[in-house]
Structure 1
Amino acid sequence: MSAGGEPAADADGLTYHLNVDGARQVVAGARLAESLLTVLRERLGVTSVKDACEQGRCGACSILLDDRLVLACTVLAADAADARVVTVAGLGTGGPAAEISAAFLDHGAVQCGFCTPGLVVAVTDLLSRRPSAGEDEIREALAGNICRCTGYGRILAAVREVQTGLAGRADRAGRADGAGRADGAGRADGAGRARRRGGPA
C-alpha cells in the first residue's frame, strides 16, 4: 500500500484494502482490470454478491459503495480501495433489510433466489431514501434488477408490505412522542446455494 492508502503495485500485482461489511480486507496480487465483483467473490469469498451478466444489466451484483447503490461488475475493485462496501450480508439481521427479506418470503417473491440479494440491496437503498415511494418510483428503482422466476407483482407487494410497516412504526412513534419456501431464508440473504447454470452460487 502507498502511504496515502492508494493501491500499490509491484511485480506481484496490486495491493490495496477494501472495507467489506465492516471488515477491513487486504487484497494482494490483484490485477488492475479486476472488477469489484470478481474480487469480492473470487478473492474474498463473498458469494452473496451474485455473478450473472457481468455487463451491468441484471442487478444481481447490486451493492452499496459509500452508501451509493452500484453494480459491482461495473466498478474496478482498485477504484473502491478504502471505500465502504456493503453487501446484502452486511445489511444486518435486523432492521429494514431483514423486514424486506421476510416480506419477500411471505409474498413468494423468492424462487431460485439468484436475483434476491441484489433486489434486497436495491429495495433497502430505495426505502432509506424514499420510504413512501409510489409504485412508479419503486418500479423505476428496480428496473435494473431482473427476476425471471416470480414476475414483479410479488416483489412489489413485498415492498408495499415493508412500507406499510415502516409507516405504522413512524405513526406509533409519533403518537408516543406526542402523547413460501423451506429454504427461502438462505436464498433471500444470499447464503443459499442458488446456482446459475454452469457456475457457482
Structure 2
Amino acid sequence: MLKTTVKISNVTNLSDARYCAGMGVELLGFNIDDSSEYFVDLKKFQEIRAWIAGVPIVAETTTSDPADLLEKLGKYQPDFIQISNPELLPWLKSETAKPLILKVEVDQDADDIEAILTKYAPYVTYFLLESSNNTSLDEDWPDFLKSLAQRFSILLGFGITPDNATFLTEDYNISGIALTGSEEIRPGFKDFGELMDILEALEEE
C-alpha cells in the first residue's frame, strides 16, 4: 500500500507496469497517440494489460480531434481518459461516463492556471499539473499549490523527489502524485532508479 494515489504516466513496457502494479500504484497511463514517442500500439497494450488486471488504466492523449479520440477510446477501452485540450471536456463528458483527467502545464501565469482549474473543475476527476521546464517547488509555488489543493483534486507531476514525496502528500493536501515511466534497457531488464526510490518512500510502514 502507498500513502497516496500515484499515477504513472507514459508506461511503455511490461516491466514498469508489473513493478508499479505490485507496489500499489492506482493509475497506469498509456499514450494512445501514434505520433508520440511514448505511443503504445493496441497489440502491445493488450499484452501488457493482461498482466495487470485490476489496475485502472488511463488513456493519455493530446489530440484535439473528437472523431479520432472516440475511435481510439473504442479500441483501448480505458478506465480513465487524460487529455490536454480543455475545450474537449464538455463534449467528452457528454460522450462517456469515464472519469476525466486534464493535464495542465504549469509554465504559465498563476492566474491563468487558476482560471483553467476553476472553469473546468465540474468536468474532471483530477487535474494533472506538469512542467515541461522542470519547474521546482520553490519561491511562490508552495503557497500556491496549497491553495489549489484546497479547492481542486490535484495530481502533482513535477518537483517530486524521494525526500519530499511524503511531505508533499501530507502537508500540501494534494490528491496524489504523478511519475513517469521509462524505457527498458533491454526486454525484461530495467533500472527503476528514482521511480523506485519515490515509491518506496511512499510505502505504508
Interval of TM-score (by shorter of Structure 1 and Structure 2): under 0.3
The structure having more radius of gyration, on CA atoms, is 1
